[in-house]
C-alpha cells in the first residue's frame, strides 16, 4: 500500500485515479457530495420496494425470471441468491490490479446516485480498497453484457463475507477472515443492491484504462527503438522532417516523426553518411515508415482514450435510478459494445507495432541488409549465433499477437433463455489485449537490445546523445556489449523490465527532455 489517496466524487474518476488505486494501492474515500447522491437514490429504492407495483430488480426476479414478483420476506434472500449464483467464475485468478480497478470503477458508478445502493455498502467497497483486500476473481465468466456479471459478483460476494480474498500481503483467506482482520463487518444486502453491485462494464473498462496507460509508454519507447535501428542501420533522418509530415496531417504521425528527429539529433553515426557520397536512395519501409505506423497507433490509442473517458463518466446499471423523477427505469447501458470495440482495435495496434519492430530487428541480422555488420551481430559467426534466436522469440510473439488481433467483439452467444440474446464479449477482448500489450513490450525490448549491440559495433562512430543514453542504461543494468555468445534470456528479461518500467524513456528524458 502507499500513502496516496483518491476521493470518489459524483463526477468521473480520472485515468490517473484508476492507475493510482489499481497499481499503487491508493486509499479510497467517498466525497460528501457522492454520499448525498447515494442517499437520495436509496430513498427512491426504499419507497419503490414498499409499493404494491412490481419494480424490476427491486421486487422481481432477474433476466428471464423478471416476471416473478418477489414478496418482501424473500427479498434479502433474493439479493444473496443473485450474488451467489452469479459468482460462477472459473479458471486462474485475475490480476490484483484488474480487480482493484474494477472495484474502484463500480464504486464510481455507485457514487453517481443512479444505482440505489446503500451508503454503508458503498463505504465498504472503499474500505476494502483502502485496506488492500482483493476478492478472488476468475478468468472466465463474463460475456461483457449485463455488465461483467461473474467478476463483479465475486467482489460482491466478499462484501457479504463469503468467497475468498487476498489481504494486502497477498495471502489467500476466506473473505470473512480478511474483513475481520481489517476490523470490517460483512453486509446483508438490501433491495436492489445485488444488481447495483454486479451490473457494469467495470472490469473491461479497468483493463482498457490500464492498457491505454501502458500503450502510451510503449509507443514512445517504440519511437526510441526505431531511432536506434534507423541509426545503427545507417538510415537517414531526412524522411522525418516536419514539412514532409505536414503533407499528411495525422497528429500522431507528426509527433512520432518529431520524436525520431529529436532522438537522432547530433548522431555521429548519422552524420557519417549524410554527405554527397552516400549512395542510399531510400530506406526500407520498416525504417522509413516508422512514424506512419507508430503515429496511426498513437491516434488509435487516443480514440480509445476518448471512449474510455466517456465510459468513466457513465453510470452503468440496470435498472437505473432517476432521483429527480422519483423513478427506476430499465435500460441497455450495460452493453459493453463501445468498450469492446476499442479493446479489439488496440489489439490490432499492438500486433502491428510489434510487427514493424520485429522487421527492423531482423534487418540487423542479415549480412545482405545490415550494411557491414557481422551476420546475426555474432562475435565469430558460425561459432557464435549472436542474436539469431532473439529474433525467433520476437517472431513467435508477433505471430501470437496477430492471432490475438482477431476481434472478440464480433462474437455473440445468446444467454439467459434468449433474454440476453446479443452480448459484447468485451471482457474477452480485454483479457487478450493484456496479453497483447505484454507481448508488444517484449518485442520492443528485443529491438532495443539488438539495436544497442549494433550501435556498439559501429564504434568508433558515436550514437546520438539520446540513443547513447539508452545503450549506457543497458550496460549499467548488466546487459553486456558485443562478445562471444552467452545466456541471452536473462538479458532479454532485463530489457523487458527496462521497457515496461519506463526506464528507457527516463534515460532519454534525462538527455533531451520528455518525449510526447
In 3D space, the residue among 336, 355, 39 whose CA is nearest the CA of residue 200 turns out to be 336
Domains of the chain (ranges; CATH) run 5-200 (1.10.275.10), 208-314+346-512 (1.20.200.10)
In 3D space, the residue among 406, 409, 401, 392 whose CA is nearest the CA of residue 437 turns out to be 401
Cis peptide preceding 426, ω within 30 of 0: no
Residues 146 and 199: beta-carbon distance below 8 Å: yes
Interval 473-495: pLDDT, tens: 999 999 999 999 999 999 999 99
CA distance 483 to 498: 22
Report the pLDDT value the prediction gives residue 67, as an integer from 0 to 100: 67
Interval 191-223: pLDDT, tens: 899 989 999 999 999 999 999 999 999 999 999
Residues 226 and 258: beta-carbon distance below 8 Å: no
Residue with cell 477472515: 177
Per-residue pLDDT, averaged over 358-373, amounts to 94
Interval 141-159: pLDDT, tens: 888 887 899 999 999 999 9
How many helices (DSSP H) and strands (DSSP E) are in the chain?
20, 9
93 or 419: which leads in pLDDT? 93
Is 56 considered catalytic here? Answer: yes
Residues 236 and 200: beta-carbon distance below 8 Å: no
Per-residue pLDDT at 61 exceeds 70: no
pTM recorded for the entire structure: 0.95
C-alpha torsion angle, residues 86, 92, 98, 103 (rounded to 10): 30
Strands 134-135, 327-329: pairing is: unpaired
CA distance 144 to 157: 19
State the catalytic residue, choosing from 56, 285, 341, 392: 56
Residue 2 pLDDT grade (very low, low, confident, very high; cuts 50, 70, 90):
low
SS3 call for 390: helix
Report the pLDDT value the prediction gives residue 277, as an integer from 0 to 100: 60
For the four alpha carbons of 456, 215, 345 and 206, in that order, the dihedral sign comes to positive
Amino acid at each position: 500500500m502507499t500513502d496516496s489517496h483518491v476521493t470518489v466524487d459524483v463526477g468521473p474518476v480520472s485515468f490517473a485515479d484508476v492507475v493510482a488505486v489499481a497499481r499503487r494501492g491508493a486509499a479510497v474515500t467517498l466525497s460528501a457530495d457522492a454520499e448525498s447522491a447515494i442517499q437520495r437514490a436509496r430513498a427512491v429504492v426504499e419507497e419503490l420496494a414498499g409499493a404494491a407495483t412490481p419494480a424490476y430488480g427491486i421486487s422481481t426476479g432477474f433476466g428471464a425470471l423478471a416476471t416473478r414478483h418477489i414478496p418482501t420476506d424473500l427479498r434479502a434472500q433474493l439479493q444473496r441468491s443473485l450474488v451467489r449464483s452469479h459468482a460462477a467464475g472459473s479458471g486462474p485468478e485475475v490480476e490484483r490490479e484488474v480487480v482493484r480497478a474494477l472495484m474502484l470503477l463500480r464504486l464510481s458508478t455507485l457514487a453517481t446516485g443512479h444505482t440505489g445502493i446503500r451508503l454503508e455498502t458503498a463505504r465498504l467497497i472503499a474500505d476494502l480498497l483502502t485496506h488492500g483486500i482483493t476478492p478472488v476473481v476468475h478468468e472466465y465468466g463474463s460475456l461483457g453484457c449485463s455488465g461483467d456479471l461473474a467478476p463483479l459478483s465475486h467482489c460482491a460476494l466478499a462484501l457479504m463475507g463469503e468467497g475468498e480474498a487476498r489481504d494486502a500481503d497477498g495471502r489467500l483467506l476466506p473473505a470473512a477472515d480478511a474483513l475481520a482482520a481489517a476490523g470490517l463487518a460483512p453486509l446483508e444486502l438490501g433491495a436492489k443492491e445485488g444488481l447495483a453491485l454486479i451490473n457494469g462494464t467495470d472490469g473491461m473498462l479497468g483493463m482498457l484504462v490500464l492498457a491505454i496507460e501502458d500503450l502510451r509508454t510503449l509507443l514512445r519507447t517504440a519511437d526510441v527503438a526505431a531511432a536506434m535501428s534507423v541509426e545503427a542501420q545507417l538510415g537517414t533522418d531526412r524522411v522525418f522532417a516536419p514539412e514532409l509530415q505536414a503533407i499528411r496531417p495525422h497528429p500522431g504521425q507528426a509527433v512520432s516523426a518529431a520524436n525520431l528527429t529529436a532522438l537522432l539529433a547530433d548522431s555521429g553515426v548519422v552524420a557519417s553518411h549524410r554527405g554527397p557520397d552516400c549512395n542510399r536512395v531510400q530506406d526500407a519501409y520498416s525504417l522509413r515508415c516508422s512514424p506512419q505506423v507508430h503515429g496511426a497507433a498513437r491516434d488509435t490509442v487516443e480514440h480509445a482514450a476518448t471512449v474510455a473517458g466517456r465510459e468513466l463518466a457513465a453510470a452503468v446499471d440496470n435498472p437505473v435510478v432517476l432521483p429527480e423523477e422519483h423513478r427506476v427505469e430499465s435500460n441497455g447501458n450495460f452493453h459493453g459494445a463501445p468498450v469492446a470495440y476499442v479493446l479489439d482495435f488496440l489489439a490490432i495496434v499492438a500486433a502491428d507495432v510489434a510487427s514493424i519492430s520485429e522487421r527492423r530487428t531482423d534487418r540487423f541480422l542479415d549480412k545482405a541488409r545490415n550494411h557491414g555488420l557481422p551476420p546475426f551481430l555474432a562475435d565469430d559467426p558460425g561459432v557464435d549465433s549472436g542474436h539469431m534466436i532473439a529474433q525467433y522469440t520476437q517472431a513467435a510473439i508477433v505471430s501470437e499477437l496477430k492471432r490475438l488481433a482477431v476481434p472478440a467483439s464480433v462474437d455473440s452467444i445468446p444467454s439467459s433463455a434468449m433474454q440476453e440474446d446479443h452480448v459484447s464479449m468485451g471482457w474477452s477482448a480485454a483479457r487478450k489485449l493484456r496479453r497483447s500489450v505484454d507481448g508488444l513490450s517484449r518485442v520492443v525490448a528485443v529491438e532495443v537490445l539488438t539495436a544497442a549491440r549494433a550501435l556498439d559495433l559501429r564504434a568508433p562512430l558515436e550514437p546520438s546523445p539520446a540513443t547513447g543514453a539508452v545503450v549506457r542504461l543497458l550496460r549499467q543494468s548488466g546487459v553486456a556489449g558485443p562478445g562471444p555468445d552467452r545466456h541471452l534470456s536473462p538479458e532479454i528479461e532485463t530489457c523487458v523490465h527496462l521497457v515496461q518500467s519506463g526506464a528507457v524513456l527516463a534515460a532519454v528524458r534525462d538527455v533531451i527532455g520528455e518525449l510526447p
